[in-house]
Amino acid sequence: MNESDSERYAGQLEELGYTPTEDPELADVILMNTCCVRETAEDKVLGKIGEFKHLKTRNKDLILAVTGCMAQEWQDRLFKRAPHLDLVIGTHNIHKLIDLIKDKEGQKESHMLATEMEDNIFHAVPTKRFQKFFAWVPIMNGCNKFCTYCIVPYVRGREVSRPLEEIIEEIRNLAKEGYKEITLLGQNVNSYGLDFKDGTDFSALLYAIEDIDGIERVRYMTSHPKDMTFTMIDAIAQCKKVVSHIHLPVQSGSTELLKRMNRGYTTEHYEELVSYIREKMPQAVLTTDIIVGFPGETEAMFQETLDLLRRVRYDMAYTFIYSPRTGTPAATMDNQIPQDEKSRRLKRLADVQNEISLAYNVEMEGKDYEVIVEGPTKNDENHWFGRTRGNKMIIWENDGTSAVGDTIRVHVDKGQTWVLKGHVLKREEDCGRRNEVNAHDEAVSGSQGDMCR
């Protein structure tokens, strides 16, 4: 969501005539778009704000802005903390950047604050997409769930869905511009449309996108187990463009802890959803989020999380150490877990998950996958990468036969914990092997040409 917001800030800056630079020393505007979901994210931003202070003495016209969740949370306290800041812009005020910068250039005020919450936040603003074939598409904003550890509902406000026609229009335009893969964004995509109270829901949106030519893959995040219905799983299974990667944050394997987190489901219900997903999409790639060290998490409760991990067998888990957020109920709960114990649990969790991730990736060895080429890896120009429909990253030595954005076939030679290594299939080789691809073609074919997974 933050990346998508950044694209809307960048678009507005471009509209004003600013061009990007990698070098802060050369910048006339520095905009820090922030997250505050965990304290570490906040600390990083505070460090950066301090780091940029000296630039103001060298360039007195430099505009320093803080935007996003942390701006919304801190409001004008940020000016007290860092008087050298110029703009603080909250999560509902993205569209005001152009006017605020113009005012600032005219030196209207020294500190400008724009953090009021609005009902309609989906304003059309110039957007500079950072990628050429993949696009973020916000479908809703805010969250009504109030999980007791989470600051998001306080900084993003209540759930507001974006009109379906507007979303479809944007995706149609993206398809015309050559975008192949879109990711629908929302804090809780499964409750999309419920605020319209006219029967529109997430499934209806998926079916509507299915008809748009040119789009090959539809991703979405994030799902909430309480609002994900069996009918939605049917829709995901039926829509051929919707990938079978399902990110379904469980947070904990203890029903008692889930209750204290105010998650609104039991582990039994969660596992029923997983069984249904596996039944409808046997090759679905399942990932999750887990928090360790939530207040009152006993060793037995933590063991329940490890057991759940072993039963569900996720392809990957994003794991987080519980971080108390001021203003959330969990921050003042009894039995906060000491930091060193939280770190130990995180390590134990990672050990269990890594073994499972590795096993899945080793299983992919010897099979062929459809990949959209993303380009060179960060550290090595000669190695390129792309992702499968299941969102697995494959790296190969670039042989010059494919370009960024191409949809190609890659043969997996080696599965590792986080990544797969492979080689691009030459077209003749590819044709010889290719089989009729099913809707969620994880493995396109095996090395003997048979269908796998």
Least Å from the CB of residue 188 to ligand SF4: 5
* Choice between 56 and 348, CB closer to ligand 5AD: 348
Shortest gap between Cβ of 319 and ligand 5AD (angstroms)?
A: 8
Q: Whole-angstrom Cα distance, residue 374 to residue 129?
A: 15
289 binds, among ligand 5AD, ligand SF4, none (CB under 5 to 8 A by kind): ligand 5AD
Strand segments, DSSP code E, in 213-340 are 217-221, 245-247, 285-292, 316-321
What does the binding site for ligand SF4 look like in residue numbers (CB under 6 A)?
143, 145-147, 150, 152-153, 187-188, 224
Beta carbon of residue 330, minimum distance to ligand 5AD (angstroms, whole number): 7
Residue closer to ligand SF4 by CB (options 146, 318) is 146
Q: In whole angstroms, how close is the CB of 77 to ligand 5AD at the nearest point?
A: 19
Buried b (16+ CB within 10 A) or exposed e, 53-79: eebbeeeeebbbbbbbbbbbbbeeebb
User: Among 317, 373, 378, which Cα is nearest to 348's?
Assistant: 317
Shortest separation between residue 153's beta carbon and ligand 5AD, angstroms: 11
Q: Which residues contact 198 (CB under 8 A, 6 or more apart)?
A: none
* CB-based contact 96:70 (threshold 8 Å): no
The CA distance from 121 to 140, in Å, is: 9
CA distance 392 to 285: 9
Shorter beta-carbon distance to ligand 5AD: residue 96 or 325: 325
Q: How far apart are the first and last CA of the chain?
A: 32
Check the annotation: does 431 bind a ligand.
no
Q: Which ranges in 293-405 belong to alpha helices (H)?
A: 299-312, 339-363
- The total number of residues shown for the chain amounts to 453
36 is in an annotated binding site: no
Residue 320 binding: pick among ligand 5AD, ligand SF4, none (C-beta 5-8 Å cut-off by kind): ligand 5AD
β-pair partners for 89:
67, 114
Residue 7 C-beta: closest distance to ligand SF4, Å = 21
CB under 5 to 8 A by kind: which of ligand 5AD, ligand SF4, none does 224 bind? Answer: ligand SF4
Residue 38 contact among ligand 5AD, ligand SF4, none, beta carbon within 5 to 8 Å by kind? ligand 5AD
Q: Which is nearer to ligand SF4, 226 or 278 (CB)?
A: 226
On whether the CB atoms of residues 274 and 288 are closer than 8 A, the answer is: no
What is the rounded distance in angstroms from the CA atom of residue 452 to the CA atom of residue 367? 8
> In Å, how far are 49, 84, 126, 127, 301 from 32, measured between CA atoms?
8, 14, 18, 17, 38
Q: Which does 264 bind (CB under 5 to 8 A by kind): ligand 5AD, ligand SF4, none?
A: none
Measured from the CB of residue 324, what is the shortest distance to ligand 5AD in angstroms?
7
Q: Which is nearer to ligand 5AD, 249 or 415 (CB)?
A: 249
Is 452 marked within a binding site? no
CB of 310 to ligand SF4, least distance (A): 24
Give me the residues that bind ligand 5AD (CB under 6 A), please: 37-38, 149-150, 249, 251, 289, 291, 320, 322-323, 325
Nearer to ligand 5AD, 153 or 375 (CB): 153
Longest CA span, the chain: 70
Nearer to ligand 5AD among residue 174 and residue 248 (C-beta) = 248
> CB under 5 to 8 A by kind: which of ligand SF4, ligand 5AD, none does 325 bind?
ligand 5AD
The token duo for 182 is 């879109």
413 binds, among ligand 5AD, ligand SF4, none (CB under 5 to 8 A by kind): none
Paired residues of 218 in beta bridges: 182, 242
Which one of ligand 5AD, ligand SF4, none is in contact with 153 (Cβ closer than 5 to 8 A by kind)?
ligand SF4
Q: What is the phi/psi pair of residue 272, to 5°? A: -65, -40
Residue ranges for the binding site for [4Fe-4S] cluster?
A: 143, 147, 150
